[in-house]
Structure 1
Amino acid sequence: MRLDLTTLNLVLAIEQTRSITRGAEREHLALAAASKRISDLESRLGVQLFERRARGVEPTEACRALVRHIRTLNASLHALESEVVEFARGIKGHLRIAANAGAIAECLPADMASFLQAHPQIRISLEDMTSAETQAAVAEGRADVGVFTPPIVDNRLDTRNYSQGRLAVLVPDGHALAGRQSVSFDDLLDYDLVGLHAGASAQELMREQALARGRTLNARLAVRGFDAIAQLVEAGLGVAVLPQGPAQRFSQVFAVKLLRLEEPWAQRDYVLGVARVERLPTVVQRFVDALCPVAKEEKKP
């Protein structure tokens, strides 16, 4: 079955505007031609894509499933176009990486720099996402490689152990805990916590740990970026749990004290994930082998 891009983009436009008329206008099609395209597509697929209402249309579940694939296809086509154009500029590959904030702050930059030094004709783009968003981006083809912390929630990925990190605690200078070298999570639950936005792996982990203790996480302030967290802690607005790498750097810049978090779950594993396919693109395979050389040896017969 062949599906042309014009019709697929028309489906996407109608789903977004909830109107065949406005969808047709956005795709520069006559209304009659657009209606026929949708009718023909429904006949070929054997499903109804839109329910006609008095004030427009409503997508069916089948339509929503189709739209997800259309978005993935458009993302792949855009990446294809960008990569092919870059060959004319001397670029021999484009690697799209998605990673959580901890990986970007702790381990990924140095490895990316080493890889680019060895492969100067490859261009890398990096996007900061939560661990769950990173896994979805790789599985849906919006990223080639993902670096994140467990749990692994998408079984469409092939994963390898990549690196390890550790969570630490920042408290303001003069805080009741500032005179100590280490604290437990129970010690922190009596204070307001400054953390990342909802969905961030460390934030969700702390929420689960608090619930397991029958306590409530006093997450009063949520921001994007570890530097913002450090500044809020310095201002005395709470304490924070964040990766040890950036926490160590902030303790040298801001009026905050670095404490060790004495919890088993403070030790964190970073996982590298790629799409589960028979053969990875050469650029992706080179990057995986550079970051996870042990995995390469383990795959040999």
Structure 2
Amino acid sequence: MLGFAPYAARDSRHWEWQYLDLMRHIWDHGDERVDRTGVGTRSIFGPQIRFDLSGGKVPLLTTKRVFWKAAAREMLWFLTGNTNIRPLLQEGVTIWSDWPLAKYRQVSGEDISQDDFERRIVADDAFALRWGDLGPVYGKQWVDWPTYQPAGDGLYRSGPGINQIDQLVAGLRDNPGGRRHIIEGWNVAELDQMALPPCHKTYQFHVGRGRLNCLLFQRSCDVALGLPFNLFGAALLTRMIAAQAGLEPGELVWTGGDTHLYLNHGDLVAEQLAREPDGAPVLDLIDVPESIFSYRFENFVVRDYQPQGAIRAPVAV
């Protein structure tokens, strides 16, 4: 465990020290390397964070503000299977704009601002259709994994898509002791079509004593900006699935592959490590719908969240 805080349930410290210890270890001891973005990172491999979701507890950082509303809207967007950023922008969520914006600038040669690009996506149907799509990213794989059927003469045609989320909920209800309760986003055949291959790629669920546990494997993790969103998103997804399967929320276990801090995040790291965690926010699910695909943002309420101020840093694209 590389000296990180032990399993949270056995640690008297605030759970968030696991995150801060991870950040400190990466910055002090991580392997410095050139990465896809050209910014450069300090990286380690294989850390773990554990968090108890019982009683409505939710892994929201308190040493800086996490914009959980954007993370919740993103998760609901995933569950629709939509791969266009337009519905997110219509709700004021801009976290996916960087990739289509970079592509538009490269192809068109137009030095358009992000605000202007986003306004055009929202206002112009044809522009959104051409430039707002991210390819078959997360939601497409989760609810419509492609299949192919023989069409004769050595040819194949598209078959019915596989809804992994629907199958997961049914499996947890009918066979809670199963070992195949998995959501997978890493479709090798379609990676090149995605604006960004899935980082939080594999979710495995486990039922024990009526509690639903989730293990998330994240193949690539931006600890400063991405991980706070990913922890909340995984907790929210687990809570929704547990409610649909008639289970209580259990433990969230996060495991990272290439787990890194960008070299231009030094100020963020210093400021956040100077702070101490405090508080225990709670996530309530209101009016649980019959289907996991019927959740709306209004179904979620976060209470007792009083974080320290936001810390901003650039996104590496």
User: TM-score w.r.t. structure 1 length?
Assistant: 0.25
Which one has the largest radius of gyration? 1
Higher relative contact order (CA 8 A, sep 6+): 2
Which of the two has greater helix per residue?
1
User: TM-score w.r.t. structure 2 length?
Assistant: 0.24
